[in-house]
Amino acid sequence: MRSVMVQIPNTPTSADVARLAGVSRATVSYVLNNTSAVRISEPTRRRVHEAARELGYVPHAAARSLRAGHSRMVLMPAPAIPVGPLYSAFLNELQQALGRLDYTVVQYGTVGLHADEAARAWAELRPVAVLVPGVELGPRGVENLKRSGARAVVTLGPVRVDGAHALLMDHDAVGHRAGTHLLARGRRRIGVVVPEEPGLEFYSRPRLAGVREALRGTDAAVTELPLAYTEQSAGRLAARWRESELDAVFAYNDEYAMLLMRALQDEGLRVPEDVAVIGADDLMLGRLLRPRLSTVRIDLPSGRDLAELVDRAVRDPGGEPEVRTVLGASVIRRESS
């Protein structure tokens, strides 16, 4: 039997990078670990990075964690609900900002796990920080994560969780702006779309409450409109529209608004003459419709600001949790309303 010898290429080390760049191993470590306590000239930094790229050197995450006393992994549980373009752009900006601060961002799916059970699964990965969208975490889950070594737990959602930093998103304000706008346009029989997709009630219910609050004490009435994100569901709702006598709709967001607006037009209803329509998120597609879609523009926190909050919390894990209300909302009026 013939034997074949396979040569396994040597894995480049920090010593190889140091030799090629003409610096010490300590300098390589300072540069590649983005250490700010030691002053390194910009030309030296460039030589180290160029040498690392040329050799294909990748720092060992476990070794870095041992030296630092903690990992550099920021875990982001994958959202259990549909996310639109606005939130996706925010996540991309956040990941880039964390990367510039030398953190490794990992999105982790825990399908079928919820609240404290999901937190235990996240804790097994020993992240240094966890960013939790929505309401999938309770105080016990925060405690479990901190015991496992997480220095920062940050929630993004409508309510605060004890022990965690919180970016509160005031979705009531989104509905309030939409309701105030429709009322000012002379509409008095206003429908509010409540998506039937699981998980979205954490956002749709506050938006519905915001519309109700905007119309409180007026002669206008609010009708709740359950709607699944399908053409068939939109068609059934549009077919019943005339008998409902509604003259306006806040359609939860731009995607549901576009879906419903097309179904209404297919039924022969004119927008905005018969039905005023407003969405939320200010997506580009809404500007391409005819008539152009009115919307509530939502201002999410900047990814850079959130990344800096994470970094501060990692550096000072014993500090008081920060709580901020971060979601701004303003109406952009176009032809549909």
Give pLDDT, residue 170. Answer: 84
330 phi/psi in degrees, rounded to 5: -150, 145
Pairing of strands 73-77, 129-133: parallel
| pLDDT tens for each residue of the chain, 337 residues long | 444 444 445 678 888 888 898 988 888 877 877 666 678 888 898 898 888 888 887 765 555 544 544 568 888 877 666 666 777 777 788 888 888 888 888 887 766 566 677 888 888 888 999 888 766 678 888 888 888 888 989 888 778 888 888 888 889 999 999 999 999 999 999 999 999 988 788 889 999 999 999 999 999 999 999 999 999 999 999 999 999 999 999 999 999 999 999 999 999 999 999 999 999 999 998 999 899 999 999 887 788 888 888 898 888 888 888 888 877 889 999 999 9
d(CA 130, CA 155) in angstroms, rounded, equals 8
Among 126, 120, 124, smallest CA distance to 141 is for 120
CB 162 within 8 A of CB 97: no
Amino acid at 189: R
What b-and-e string marks burial along 23-32, b requiring 16 or more CB atoms within 10 Å of the CB? beeebbbbbb
What element of type H or E holds 279? strand 276-280
Tally the C-alpha atoms within 13 A of residue 335's C-alpha that lie toward its C-beta.
Answer: 10
Give pLDDT, residue 1. Answer: 42
- 86 in helix, strand or coil? helix
Among 25, 13, 22, smallest CA distance to 55 is for 13
Give pLDDT, residue 81. Answer: 61
Pairing of strands 248-250, 276-280: parallel
Give pLDDT, residue 135. Answer: 63
Distance of CA 214 to the CA centre of its chain: 27
- What angle in degrees, to the nearest 10, is found between the helix axes of 25-32 and 14-21? 100
d(CA 188, CA 244) in angstroms, rounded, equals 13
3-state helix, strand, coil in the chain (%, to 5): 45, 20, 40
Beta strands in 102-185 (DSSP E): 104-108, 129-133, 152-157, 165-168
Tally the C-alpha atoms within 13 A of residue 295's C-alpha that lie toward its C-beta.
Answer: 23
CB 148 within 8 A of CB 120: no
Q: Which two tokens stand for residue 277?
A: 């329509």
Give pLDDT, residue 84. Answer: 65
Q: Which two tokens stand for residue 228?
A: 């699944």
Give pLDDT, residue 4. Answer: 45
d(CA 160, CA 51) in angstroms, rounded, equals 46
- 334 in helix, strand or coil? coil
Give pLDDT, residue 34. Answer: 66
Give pLDDT, residue 35. Answer: 63
201 phi/psi in degrees, rounded to 5: -65, -25
Give pLDDT, residue 8. Answer: 41
